[in-house]
A and B are shown apart, each in its own frame.
Chain A
C-alpha cells in the first residue's frame, strides 16, 4: 500500500538545505541594495541598462538550454550574470552594448565548455571586458550622481576618480602628496563636506571628504560599483549566509592594500610605505570584484588554501594594472587572469589525504 509512494534513494538521505538556486538567489539579494543606490543616483536609465542586461542573458541562456538540452533557467545563474553585467556598465552605455556583453557572456564564455559550472572565466567579467575593448569610449563615459552633480560639469564630464587620477598624473609635476592632491579639483558632495567637518569638530579627526564620497557612492562610475558601503553590506549578508567564505575577499583586499601601501607612493614621487590604501580600496570596482566576482564558485579554487593564493594573485594583478597599466582600472582583468590559473592552483593546493604521512616526515 505505501510501497508505491516510497522514494528509494542512495545515502545520504538527508541533505543540507543549500542548493544551487538558493546560492544564486542569495548573491542576487546581496546585490540589490547597491543596485537601488545606482538607480537613485544615476537615474532610471540605470534600471533600463540592468534590465536589458538581465533579459539578454536570460534569453541567451534559454536558447542554449534548448539547444544543448540541459540546464535550467531556474538555477538563477543567468539572471545573476546579467545583473553583474548591468552593474559593470556606465549609465549611458548604448543598450545594445549591454545586451552584447550579456549574450557574449552566456553564449561564448559560459556555454563554450558546456554551461553552468564548466566555464573557466567568470562570464560577467569576460562579457564586460569584451565590450570594454570594443566600445571603449561608451564604456568609459560616466554620468554624475545626483548627490554630487558638479562632477557632470565642464572638463570633468562625469569622470571617475580613478580616471581623473590617471590623466592628471600624466602631466603632474612630481612629487605630489598622493591621489587626493591630484583630485583637488574633483567635486565634493555637500554630504561629504559636512560629515568631514563633523568628524573634525566632534572627534578632532581629519578625514578628507573624498573618502566619504567614495564610501557612500557619491562619485561617477559603473552602476553597481560606486557605493562601497552597500557592497560591504551585501558581502556581509553573503558571509552570514555562508555563500562566500572569508578567504578570497580577505586575501584579495588585504594583499591589494599591502601592495598599494608599500609601492603606490612611488608613482607620486614619494617613498615606500606611503600609498593611499583607503582611496584605492574604496574606488573603482575593487569591492564589487573582491566580494562578488572573485568569489564566484565556478571560477575560483576549491580549497581555502587555493582561495588564499587566488585572492593574493588578484590583489597583486589589480595593483599592477591600476598603477602601471594603460587602463585606470584593473579589477576585471586581474580576476580573469586569475580565473585562467585556477586549474593550476587547484593542482597544487589539494586537500591533505587522511592516513598518509607527509613526505618530509617519512624516513
Chain B
C-alpha cells in the first residue's frame, strides 16, 4: 500500500473519539424555545440589524445586512416575532448584538422540496453575489465570508481548489456525515465553485479514519471523470488547518503571513461547499448547519441539523441531557473550541460541535514548572518554540515574542496538549497577541 500523505512538521495524535457519533445519521434538532441570532457570527464587521422588536419575521428572511466588504448577511432561522434586540455573549467570550426571535407561524421552507434552480446560465459574478446574499461563510470554524474568499483578485490564477474534508478535531463527525449523506450535493457544489474559480484541479482531502466517506467520494469522483482527486490523508492533528492541509495535499508551504492564494490555492470546507450548493440551487440562506453533539458527558451523542441561534441548553436536552460527571461544555472541537459558562449561548454559523466532557477524558493534571522537555517544540506544526515564547509572554516581553514569530501561532493547541507540565501555553499566547497588538496600536 502506498503510504498516505500528511504534513511533515509537528502535529499530535489525540484520541479521536469519533466512534461516539460517526454512525449516527443527521437528524433534525427540535425547535424548543426562543432563538438568539447574533449579528457577529463571522470574521469581519458585524451585520447591520434590519429588524425591530415586534417585527414579524419569516423563515430565511434577511434580519442582518452585511456591513462593509468583509461581512455577511444574517437570516432568520425560524418564522416568528422579534422579541428584543440585546447584547449577548458568544461562546468565544465576545459580545455581540443579537436578534431574539420567538418562533411562531408556519415553516414555509424546510420540509418542503423546492424546485431546483437551473444555474447553468449564471455568470461567476452572479454566483458570487448569490453566495453573498445567502450569507454563506466558511463553516470549518474560521467563518470567513465565502463570497470574499471566492472572489480572488483578477490577476490571481487558482491552480488548485482544495476541499477540506479532514475534520481533524477529535469528536466531530458533522463533515463526515455530510460527505456520506450528501455526496451528490457536494459534487454539485463543486461544479458551482469550479465555474467561479476555474481551478486547474480539485483535490478533496479526507483523513483515513473516514474510510466509508473516502470510498463513496472516490466512487463519485470516478463517475464524474477527471479533475477531482480524493486524497486520503494519514491521521494527524491539525491537518484540517488550511496551511497544514495544503502542505499535505500539495506539498507546498503558504508563506508566513500570506493567504493560500500565494501558492495558487483556495481552500474550502465540505460543509461550506454544501451550503453553497443549497444557496445557489435552492436559494436557501445559511440558517442551519450540522452540529455534532458528543463527549462522554452527554447521554445520547448525535449529529444534528441545527438552526442558527438555537440555545446550547436546548440541544443538550435534545441529546438526553448531561451525565453527573460532566465538567465542561465546549463549543467547537476539543482542541480549539471554547468552554462555555451559560447554556443560553447560541449556536452560530461556525459551530461544528457541542462537546460535554468528563474530567477523565480531559486528562489534565496539575501544572508544574516547565521541564524543558521539548515536546511542545516538536509538536508545533508552525515550527515555533512554545516554551520560549511562553516565558517571554510571561515576562511581558511581547516584542521579543513577536520577533520569534508569535503571530504565526494559530492557537491549534498541539503544544499545550503534549506539555507534561500542563502549562496553559495557548492561553498565554492568546493574551500575548492581544497585548502585543495593543502596544503596536499605541506606538
Question: Which B287-343 residues have C-beta < 8 A from chain A?
Answer: 322, 326-330, 334-343
Chain A residue contacts of B113, Cβ below 8 A: none
In the complex, the answer to whether B384 meets A355 with C-beta atoms within 8 Å is no
In the complex, the answer to whether B420 meets A22 with C-beta atoms within 8 Å is yes
In the complex, the answer to whether A6 meets B418 with C-beta atoms within 8 Å is no
Q: A75 to B339: give the CA distance in the assembly, Å.
A: 28
In the complex, the answer to whether B339 meets A7 with C-beta atoms within 8 Å is yes
Q: A115 to B421: give the CA distance in the assembly, Å.
A: 14
In the complex, the answer to whether A8 meets B341 with C-beta atoms within 8 Å is yes
Size of interface on B: residues with Cβ below 8 Å to A: 69
Q: A23 to B369: give the CA distance in the assembly, Å.
A: 13
In the complex, the answer to whether A15 meets B411 with C-beta atoms within 8 Å is no
Q: A53 to B160: give the CA distance in the assembly, Å.
A: 64
In the complex, the answer to whether B336 meets A355 with C-beta atoms within 8 Å is no
Chain B residue contacts of A304, Cβ below 8 A: 378
Which one of A40-48, A126-134, A294-302 is at the interface?
A294-302
Given the interface contacts A7-B328, A72-B368, A353-B384, does A303 sit within 8 Å of B377 by beta carbon? yes
Q: A118 to B421: give the CA distance in the assembly, Å.
A: 13
Chain A residue contacts of B12, Cβ below 8 A: 16
Which one of B146-154, B202-210, B422-430 is at the interface?
B422-430
In the complex, the answer to whether B254 meets A13 with C-beta atoms within 8 Å is no
**Is B402 interfacial (CB-CB < 8 Å)?**
no
Given the interface contacts A297-B373, A298-B371, A351-B385, does A12 sit within 8 Å of B380 by beta carbon? no
In the complex, the answer to whether B383 meets A353 with C-beta atoms within 8 Å is yes
In the complex, the answer to whether B255 meets A355 with C-beta atoms within 8 Å is yes
In the complex, the answer to whether A352 meets B383 with C-beta atoms within 8 Å is yes
Closest to B428 in A: A10
Chain B residue contacts of A175, Cβ below 8 A: none
Specify which of A16, A71, A351 lies most central, judged by the most chain B CB atoms within 10 Å of its CB: A16
Given the interface contacts A15-B417, A23-B420, A118-B369, does A2 sit within 8 Å of B322 by beta carbon? yes
In the complex, the answer to whether B342 meets A302 with C-beta atoms within 8 Å is no
Question: Which A1-36 residues have C-beta < 8 A from chain B?
Answer: 2-3, 5-23
Query: Separation in Å of the A359 CB from the closest CB of chain B?
Result: 14
**Is B48 interfacial (CB-CB < 8 Å)?**
no
**Is A269 interfacial (CB-CB < 8 Å)?**
no
In the complex, the answer to whether A14 meets B170 with C-beta atoms within 8 Å is yes
Which listed residue, A116, A307, A353, touches B408 by the CB 8 Å rule? A353
**Is A117 interfacial (CB-CB < 8 Å)?**
yes
Which listed residue, B256, B364, B369, touches A117 by the CB 8 Å rule? B369
Which listed residue, A10, A19, A297, A356, touches B430 by the CB 8 Å rule? A10
**Is B401 interfacial (CB-CB < 8 Å)?**
no
In the complex, the answer to whether B377 meets A20 with C-beta atoms within 8 Å is no
Chain B residue contacts of A19, Cβ below 8 A: 365-366, 368, 420-422
**Is B362 interfacial (CB-CB < 8 Å)?**
yes
Query: Separation in Å of the A269 CB from the closest CB of chain B?
Result: 44
Question: Which B14-55 residues have C-beta < 8 A from chain A?
Answer: 14-15
Which listed residue, B254, B365, B369, touches A115 by the CB 8 Å rule? B369
Chain A residue contacts of B408, Cβ below 8 A: 353-355
**Is B355 interfacial (CB-CB < 8 Å)?**
yes
Query: Separation in Å of the A125 CB from the closest CB of chain B?
Result: 16
Interface string of A61-79 (1 = CB under 8 A from B): 0000000001110110000
Q: A21 to B366: give the CA distance in the assembly, Å.
A: 9
In the complex, the answer to whether A116 meets B362 with C-beta atoms within 8 Å is no
Chain A residue contacts of B257, Cβ below 8 A: 355
Closest to A71 in B: B369
Query: Separation in Å of the B52 CB from the closest CB of chain A?
Result: 32
**Is B283 interfacial (CB-CB < 8 Å)?**
no
12 further contact pairs, Cβ within 8 A, besides A12-B416, A351-B384: A2-B322, A9-B328, A14-B15, A14-B335, A14-B417, A23-B420, A71-B369, A115-B369, A298-B371, A303-B374, A304-B378, A354-B382
6 A-B contact pairs sorted by A residue (CB < 8 Å):
A3-B341, A6-B328, A9-B364, A303-B378, A351-B377, A356-B256
Closest 3 CB pairs of A and B: A12-B413, A302-B374, A10-B427
Interface of A toward B, CB cutoff 8 Å:
2-3, 5-23, 70-72, 74-75, 114-118, 297-304, 307, 350-357
